[in-house]
Structure 1
């Protein structure tokens, strides 16, 4: 009989919880992908969504590499299989110098578990940089497993709260 991996179980729970929010009308799912990289034998699941009437997005990225998958399937005695989970927020903004400081403070308050928060700004060559795209990565420094499945609704609630807090910084065109 087929025994799903930690990655597959987490992916199903995350996907179901996100689509439940979409069906309730709280969010709109805008993208999803489930990738297998045969060169390094890894898997990555990405689902992106936004609040209704908003351009800011949240993206959940779940990934597992060869060592995690093999350690779990082969039941290696010292293996600590699990998945990497990252959340990435994306929004167009104006005046990045002041906005990014405020955004950093907001995210550090909202994400109490002290993940690493990295903001990456990009703009088109030739523009003055006063308008740009801000990708805000919330990176957790540990793997997750099936023991954290019950935390998924809280994680999604945090992403919704973050999207609401980021909305005033969203560049209106």
Structure 2
């Protein structure tokens, strides 16, 4: 039956790069939760934005038995990336921009942004290297300041990989996960 479809020029269904990488991420992180008990998965989203035909997947977790700080792995694929993949069936996917975008987020609660953000920057550069760009975004809830000296801020630290991710990088998922766990451990050890 496959041969009949191929002879007419129709493509046999293959999952997209997004789907394959998403499943690999899910499998690895759920194993860290269910089998290894190193993390607790506390949030999951899998969205399709129909207006622009974009996909987004996120998995948020904490170190097992702990709360207060979390990490999230986020995978996204745009219509442009999907089209590049589907239209370039036999070519080099990376050269056409096919694949997914990968970003990581860490959320920590801090009370002294000036000092703690410098510590966080040092931790991030030590683990992820100087070439990995990241941002720290500080926010707080207005009205929480009672007493005024007890203001707590949320620091969202975001790292964005500057290249597309494809199936070729799936073997790097264990190392990525270990770096994320190391980041959470070091943030905790630094009393951030």
Q: TM-score range, shorter-chain basis?
A: over 0.9
C-alpha deviation, 1:140, in angstroms: 1.2
Q: After alignment, is 49-58 or 129-138 more displaced?
A: 129-138
What is residue 46 of structure 1 aligned with on the other side?
Answer: 58
Match for 1:108 among 113, 118, 125? 125
Structure with the greater relative contact order (CA < 8 A, sep ≥ 6): 1 or 2? 1
Match for 1:95 among 77, 99, 112? 112
SS in 2 for 1:54: coil
Counting strand residues as a fraction of each chain, which structure ranks higher?
1
Equivalent pairs counted in the alignment come to: 171
Q: Does structure 1 residue 15 correspond to structure 2 residue 32?
A: no
C-alpha deviation, 1:91, in angstroms: 1.0
SS in 2 for 1:107: helix
TM-score by length of 2: 0.83
**What's the Cα RMSD here?**
1.8
Q: Answer whether contact 1:45 1:63 (CA < 8 A) is retained.
A: yes
Unaligned stretches of 5+ in structure 1?
none
TM-score by length of 1: 0.92
Unaligned stretches of 5+ in structure 2?
1-11
Ranges of 4+ aligned residues in structure 1 off by more than 2 Å: 76-80, 126-130, 168-171
Match for 1:141 among 154, 162, 184? 162
- Structure exhibiting the larger radius of gyration computed from Cα positions: 2
Match for 2:38 among 26, 30, 35? 26
Give the distance between the partners of 2:191 and 2:99, measured in 1 at CA: 35
